[in-house]
Amino acid sequence: MRLGLVIDLDVCVGCHACAIACKEWNASGTTAPLTDYQPYGAEPSGVWFNRIRSYEVGDYPNNKTINFPMSCMHCEDADCVTVCPTGASYKRAEDGIVLVDQTKCMGCNYCSWACPYGARELDRESGTMKKCTLCIDRIYDTVMPVEERQPACVLTCPAHARMFGDMDDANSAVSVVIRERGGYQLMPELGYNPTNHYLPVRKATPISTDNMGKIGFKDRLKGIANKIVKR
């Protein structure tokens, strides 16, 4: 089993709900607390497992804003695990989830150096590395209804841009959608083989802004009237 996320970039609206839900759930989860520094101060900062950035792709008028959520990719060949000198960072054999054992981490930052996706953030309060657990304490919780045994980010996404499932199962919803929509991995050249996949933005015909045609007689009259009449 190889559990991971598929994120549909065509659908994500950049609302940060996944990040908020993640913070809310994991603030009391296995790696808790997730410290905030100066939450109401001049320079608010803190530990988050999810970060959503926005990019502009293409040039006007063929440009498009793409919201880009990122969390841990739970890589198959995770260097963050092999470089860890204490054994705190580990990858579960049974489902491929990469975790940090908070009782072993010495806060050397080495795993965060090895991670190309910025998935790991040091909690200055506890002195340990924190990262996405794929909500391991939700997805295996037999007390919850089956449909709620999913990561908090997936459950909360109002646009349904996130999917969760087993990449090893060729018939799972995530595997099918990756096949059908051309799901891809980030920075494949580094060879980390990330489990999380992204679905590309669908091609859309841009709405033309030039060659709008001449203004008709009616509109021209309206224009003249608008200049004369003060409203």
Residues near another protein (CB under 8 A) = 16, 19, 43-48, 51-59, 62-63, 65-66, 68, 70, 79, 81-88, 103-110, 112-118, 121-122, 124, 126-128, 184-191, 198, 200-201
CB of 52 to another protein, least distance (A): 5
Give 1 or 201: the residue with its C-beta nearer to another protein: 201
Closest by CA to 201, choosing from 62, 18, 49, 20, is: 62
- How far is residue 102's CA from residue 132's CA, in Å, rounded to a whole number? 13
Give 28 or 65: the residue with its C-beta nearer to another protein: 65
Give 42 or 212: the residue with its C-beta nearer to another protein: 42
* Cβ–Cβ under 8 Å, residues 38 and 204: no
CB of 54 to another protein, least distance (A): 4
Give 105 or 139: the residue with its C-beta nearer to another protein: 105
Question: What 3-state DSSP class applies to 227?
Answer: helix
Question: What 3-state DSSP class applies to 175?
Answer: helix
Cα–Cα distances in angstroms (integers) from residue 137 to residues 58, 69, 133, 215, in the given order = 40, 22, 8, 62
CB of 99 to another protein, least distance (A): 15
Give 45 or 226: the residue with its C-beta nearer to another protein: 45
CB of 94 to another protein, least distance (A): 20
- Residue 201: half-sphere exposure toward Cβ, Cα within 13 Å: 16
Eight-class DSSP state of 76: T
Give 7 or 167: the residue with its C-beta nearer to another protein: 7
- How far is residue 19's CA from residue 38's CA, in Å, rounded to a whole number? 18
- How far is residue 17's CA from residue 157's CA, in Å, rounded to a whole number? 6
* Cβ–Cβ under 8 Å, residues 70 and 53: yes
CB of 113 to another protein, least distance (A): 6
CB of 137 to another protein, least distance (A): 22
- Name the phi and psi angles at 46, rounded to 5: 170, -175
Give 200 or 223: the residue with its C-beta nearer to another protein: 200
CB of 209 to another protein, least distance (A): 17
Length of the chain: 231
